[in-house]
Amino acid sequence: MKPYSTILLIGAAIMMAIGCDKSPMDGPENLPPAEDINYVFASDETGVIEVWEQRDGERTRLSENPNENSWWPHKNPRKSSILYYTSPIGEDLQNISNAELRVLDLTSNEDHVIINAGKHDWSSTSWARWSADGEQIVVCYKTTTDSHWQLAIVDDFGNNAISISSRSDVDYLDPVFSPDGKLIYCVSIPENEGPESDNFELYSIDVATGEEIRLTNNTWRDQHPDVSPDGDWLIFESLVDPEYLSIGKWRINKYNLQSKKVEIILEEEQLNFHPKIFDEGSIVFIRLDVTKLRTGFFLMDLSTLETAPLLNEQFNAINIDPY
């Protein structure tokens, strides 16, 4: 499996899920009501993939790029702007060689490109995320001469790039800042395995020193870590059955950064992807119901492991980012 193919698989699965019924959130009492959960996401409600915001129970389209798909939004923690990518319509979301990283100011509605192909001698970028203070961005990038994804930190204008990954012969994917900005959590290939290995494990990288520490050690492909507000634990997914329904079955896990222990919190017949932390007690994730071919966003209470639907309507929704 190629490093970026999970996004394609998720996108393909979601594109099968046409004709979803609108379902109100009526889940466990411990979960917050749907109108209390604010998030940005991407959907094809208008016929192209656009970036939207769900806030106080109201949905608003944020991007207006009629000739491009807009995807992978991330809200600035200062809540004044969002990062997102655009790519030409007609090309799948894997064709990131033509993708541009943009910033949309939600106050002025100014929308501008901060990184495109060629800047910093990069051929492409992906997986951009803000730091907790909203002043820096961590991105994956490829250069014109390197076929492997590396990590860099740039400022909020996409300038002053500083590379922080040290092994040029493997890929680094899915980076996210720790709350204090001192660490980057990501996935990469262990040092004793070749660059063609598909065994991605969780790592932390010290921003100041570049020191890498391997966090997980298993036989599954781990991806998409997200860090808790207090910095004490991670949520992530593991590919436990690559052949399941030709898409793959992913398990959602919690990693305690103090005890170094992994707890399985969701493994079932449905396809569950891309977990994100909403608060200390709950997470959101994408679910594809394999019996109904319906997709949507779901919420989980971490104390009871109960789930409830969050967004399940007659359009395809991806890339949820709660705030």
User: pLDDT (tens digit, 9 = 90+) per residue, 169-205?
Assistant: 999 999 999 999 999 999 999 998 877 788 999 999 9
- Cβ–Cβ < 8 Å for 298, 320: no
- Please tell me which residue, 288 or 150, carries the higher pLDDT value: 150
Structural tokens at position 189? 């290939």
Q: Which residues pair with 102 in a beta bridge?
A: 84, 113
Inform me whether the pLDDT recorded for 267 exceeds 50: yes
Mean residue pLDDT across the chain: 88
> Higher-confidence residue: 57 or 12?
57
Q: Domain locations in the chain?
A: 5-20+122-322
- Highest average pLDDT, of 83-97, 166-180, 280-294, comes from 166-180
Q: CA-to-CA distance for 283 and 305, rounded, in angstroms?
A: 10
Average pLDDT over residues 147-173: 96
| Residue 97 dihedral angles phi and psi, to the nearest 5° | -65, -25
Give the chain's count of helices (H) and strands (E).
1, 24
Considering only CA atoms, which of 283, 313, 314 is closest in space to residue 23? Answer: 313
- Annotate 21-71 with three-state secondary structure: CCCCCCCCCCCCCHHHCCEEEEECCCCCCEEEEEECCEEEECCCCCCEEEE
End-to-end CA distance of the chain: 31
Average pLDDT over residues 228-257: 95
Question: What's the confidence (pLDDT) of residue 92?
Answer: 72
Asked if the model's pLDDT at residue 107 lies above 70, the reply is yes
Share of the chain above pLDDT 90, in %: 69
The residues pairing with 234 across neighbouring beta strands, listed in sequence order, are: 227, 255
So what's the pLDDT on residue 315? 82
Instruction: Go through 270-305 and write b for each residue having 16 or more CB atoms within 10 A of its CB, e for each that does not.
Output: bbbbbbbbbeeebbbbbbbebeeebbbbbbbbbeee
Q: What is the pLDDT of residue 78?
A: 85
Q: How many angstroms separate the Cα of 283 from the Cα of each of 63, 234, 244, 276?
A: 25, 11, 24, 6
Residue 29's pLDDT band, with cuts at 50, 70 and 90, is low
Q: Nearest 5°: phi and psi at 121?
A: 65, 30
pLDDT at 144 over 90: no
pLDDT exceeds cutoff 50 at 36 = yes
pLDDT at 24: 40
What are the start-end ranges of the E strands in 89-191?
A: 100-105, 111-115, 122-130, 136-143, 150-155, 162-163, 172-177, 183-188
Mean pLDDT within 302-322: 90
What fold does the segment set 5-20+122-322 form as a domain?
Neuraminidase (2.120.10)
The confidence score (pLDDT) of residue 262 equals 97
**pLDDT (mean) for 72-80:** 92
For residue 93, the model assigns a pLDDT of 65
Alpha-carbon gap, residue 216 to 296, rounded angstroms: 29
With a cut of 70, say whether residue 135 has pLDDT above it. Answer: yes
The mean-pLDDT minimum among 49-58, 60-69, 286-295 falls in: 286-295
